[in-house]
Amino acid sequence: MKLSGIFAAIPTPFDHNGDIYRVKIEHNLSRWNAYGLAGYVVGSWVGEGPLLAHDEKLAVWELSAKSAAPGRTLIADVGVEGVREAADLAAAAARLGYHAVCAGGPRWYSGSQTLFFRALADRSPIPVIVIDQDAGAVAQLSQHPNIAGAVVNTGAIGEIAVRAGFQLLAGSAGCLWDALRNGAQGAVLGFAAASPYAAIAVWEAFRTREEEAGLDWQNRISQAAELVYGVPGLKYAMDLNGYYGGPPRLPLVPVSMEARAEIAQAFEGFSGKT
């Protein structure tokens, strides 16, 4: 499969009772579909995936798949502790029309991460994308034929030795330009859920070799990206830009009034383009 361009890691909308706000999933995707996003990552930590029950995760995946525009690549996050459950989730995602799954590996059993990914890739009916592993692990895992790529949170992507055809994606808006220059084929960004236009502008400037424009956009998004790191800040930024962010699910809490003022100021420079 081809991984190229900007993929939005999308938050999960909740109402003020903490229930999934289904109509807002449709609302957000209808707006994101208007931009040139390559696809969507659904149910990751940005989507508060660890806070979703199994049936809730499947419901969010299903509605997101139905609401996404044709041609968008759909990636479901199946990050759990055990291979068996992750593989079951991967099979469910495939049935719902997803093109790939991603995972960050076990948290409690961190010494088993490489084995986790290999075993998941052996069992998954669709390709696996590795998230947030060190360069050595990514290089090893790239040899598996059903592991299609990795999301790496560093600009030094070019230093990772991977097999031909293995695709590397940036995982941070703050180092997006550097990552693209160093060999990233695209990026998976929570920031793109709040401002797809700005994220895509960096990608398009790189693609068309307009370095001055690319650096300008990178400078403009860096401060905003830093401020919205974390789900509550990202959701507030979405609210500012006409999407539905809404409240995070407990134990996460909304950002403070001071943080809201800082986020609003950071997004003023985008001239209404989201």
Q: Which pLDDT score, from 0 to 100, does residue 100 have?
A: 98
Write out the two tokens for 219.
Answer: 């400078």
Q: Which pLDDT score, from 0 to 100, does residue 112 have?
A: 83
What is the CB-side half-sphere exposure of residue 129 using CA atoms within 13 A? 28
Average pLDDT over residues 53-80: 97
Q: What is the pLDDT of residues 73-112, one digit of tens each?
A: 999 999 999 999 999 999 999 999 999 999 998 888 777 8
Q: What is the pLDDT of residues 157-201, one digit of tens each?
A: 878 889 999 999 999 999 999 999 999 999 999 999 999 999 999
9, containing H or E segment: strand 5-10
229 pLDDT higher than 90: no
Q: How many Å apart are CA 142 and CA 136, to the nearest integer?
A: 10
Q: Which pLDDT score, from 0 to 100, does residue 270 have?
A: 66
Residue 227 pLDDT grade (very low, low, confident, very high; cuts 50, 70, 90): confident
Q: What fold is seen in the domain 5-270?
A: TIM Barrel (3.20.20)
Domain ranges of the chain: 5-270
Q: Which pLDDT score, from 0 to 100, does residue 228 have?
A: 82
Is residue 251 reached through a cis peptide bond, with omega within 30 degrees of 0 on the bond before it?
yes
Write out the two tokens for 117.
Answer: 């990914």
Residue 152 pLDDT grade (very low, low, confident, very high; cuts 50, 70, 90): very high
Write out the two tokens for 137.
Answer: 């692990």
Q: Which pLDDT score, from 0 to 100, does residue 101 have?
A: 98
Whole-model pTM: value is 0.96
Q: Which residue has the tokens 């070799």?
A: 209
Q: How many Å apart are CA 234 and CA 99, to the nearest integer?
A: 26
18 pLDDT higher than 60: yes
Q: For all residues of the chain together, what is the average pLDDT? A: 93
Alpha carbon distances (Å) from 239 to 13, 197, 245: 11, 16, 5
75, containing H or E segment: strand 73-77
Strands 147-152, 128-131: pairing is: parallel
Q: Residues 6 or more apart from 3 whose CB is under 8 A from it? A: 38, 73, 129, 148, 149, 167, 169, 185, 186
Strands 39-42, 73-77: pairing is: parallel
